[in-house]
Amino acid sequence: MRASTFLTSTFFAATALAHGNIVSPPVRQAGAVTQQVCGAQAVSALTTDITGPLENVASNGSPDCNIFLCKGIQFEDNQNNVQEFAAGEQVDFAAEIPIPHEGPCNVSVVDLATNTLVGQPLISFASYADEALAQLPLNNTQFSVTMPTDLGTQCQQPGECALQWFWFGTNAQQTYEDCVDFVMTA
Q: How far is the CB of 20 from Cu ion (least distance, A)?
A: 7
Rounded to the nearest whole angstrom, what is the least distance from the CB of residue 138 to Cu ion in the complex? 21
Decide: is 99 part of the binding site for Cu ion (CB under 5 A): yes
Q: What distance lies between CA 144 and its chain's CA centroid?
A: 15
Give the x-and-dash track for 159-178 against Cu ion (CB under 5 A).
Answer: ---------------x----
Residue 50 interacting with Cu ion (CB under 5 A)? no
Stretch that binds Cu ion, among 66-74, 99-107, 112-120, 124-132 (CB under 5 A): 99-107
Q: Which of 19, 67, 163, 168 binds Cu ion (CB under 5 A)?
A: 19
What are the E-state strand segments in 20-115? 21-24, 83-85, 90-96, 103-111
- φ, ψ for residue 14, nearest 5 deg: -65, -40
Smallest gap from Cβ 41 to Cu ion, in A, equals 19
Chain centroid, CA 95 distance in Å: 9
- When the beta carbons of 99 and 109 are compared against Cu ion, the nearer one is 99
CA distance 78 to 26: 10
Interface segment toward Cu ion; rule CB under 5 A; list 25-33, 78-86, 97-105, 130-138: 97-105
Nearer to Cu ion, 41 or 173 (CB): 173
Quickly list DSSP for 5-28.
Answer: HHHHHHHHHHHHT-S-EEEES---
| Cα 12 to Cα 110: distance, rounded to the nearest angstrom | 35
Q: Choose the stretch contacting Cu ion; rule: CB under 5 A; options: 31-39, 93-101, 110-118, 150-158.
A: 93-101
Answer for the pair 134, 159: CB distance below 8 angstroms, yes or no.
no
Instruction: Name the residues that contact Cu ion, by CB under 5 A.
Output: 19, 99, 174
